[in-house]
Amino acid sequence: MSIIAEKTEFACPELETFLKALALEEGLAENTIQAYRRDLTDFIRHIGKNEAGDISKKDVRDYLGGLYSVGLNPSTVNRRLSAIRKYLNFTGNSKVVADDIQGPKLARRLPVVLSVREVQKILELPDKEDERSIRDRAILELLYATGMRISELIGLERAVFVPEITYIMVSGKGGKERLVPLGHFAIGAVGKYLNIARPLLARGKPDDNRLFITRHGRGFSRSGMWKLIHGYIRKAGISKKVTPHTFRHSFATHLLEGGADLRVVQELLGHASINTTQIYTHLNHQYLLEIHRQFHPRARKP
């Protein structure tokens, strides 16, 4: 039986109950719910057992072995194991079959970060005065100013931006909200977009309450927003392997390099645990070396 779920009719009442509980109790985004659905559907189809109570430790191990055999990335295997554990815990079976099963160890990979100069180069690219350039400049300035996720950016509504208030309310994972400060450049760019560009983009189109809209007057999809941002990264001639989180990583790293407290960066990013934020303290070893040489009394030759 295939490890990768096929698109055929499938029914598992326990799985549907679990997914509804995730959506209601944890407030997870729709794309996260669908990821759980795909992973668990593949697992249940592979073992051929619709009843969670019938699933054994051997079933889980055999499934993981199948994932290894088709060469899935270790992080993908761990994600699927995590979904299985959560599902079996929800159905009352986790302690019996999955808690002591270990996934593959992951190598700690540091995220790619843009330099301050590279970010400035990107921010300067939308330099025309047409509505799309004004909008794009506002998007890039806001993304770098706040470090928000792309999913958070596209979910912003017009009402959250009040130019007289130097903060913006961001709705993060699980519906958790946080206030993030805005700088002068971001406030100016978004204000100009709302006053000049957005009315032109929305003219004659159905009303959409989201802050940033496409030329069709609708809010962006996640892939559409990333395509726009990545286009400017390429246009700037940056060859680094960037991801949708690259601006977020750069935001956090530049704050820490400027002397910001780790707890403050944790709050701005909306991380539940400071352990997640600590990865940014390991990013720029050259910067740390320069600081050490500059300030430590025994670091330089007399």
Catalytic site residues? 149, 173, 245, 248, 271, 280
Rounded to the nearest 10 degrees, what angle do helices 116-123 and 246-257 cross at? 130
Rounded Cα distance, 75 and 162, in Å: 40
DSSP state of 170: E
Question: Token digits for 188?
Answer: 């100016």
Q: How many CB atoms lie within 10 A of CB 256?
A: 19
- Strand, helix or coil for residue 169: strand
Rounded Cα distance, 115 and 301, in Å: 29
DSSP state of 205: S
Rounded Cα distance, 38 and 209, in Å: 31
Rounded to the nearest 10 degrees, what angle do helices 246-257 and 131-146 cross at? 50
Rounded Cα distance, 94 and 76, in Å: 20
Tokens 């990107």 correspond to what residue? 122
Residue burial 49-78, b: 16+ Cβ < 10 Å; e: rest = eeebeebeeebbeebbebbeeeebeeeebb
Longest dimension (CA), the chain: 76
Whether the Cβ atoms of residue 57 and residue 98 lie closer than 8 Å to each other:
yes
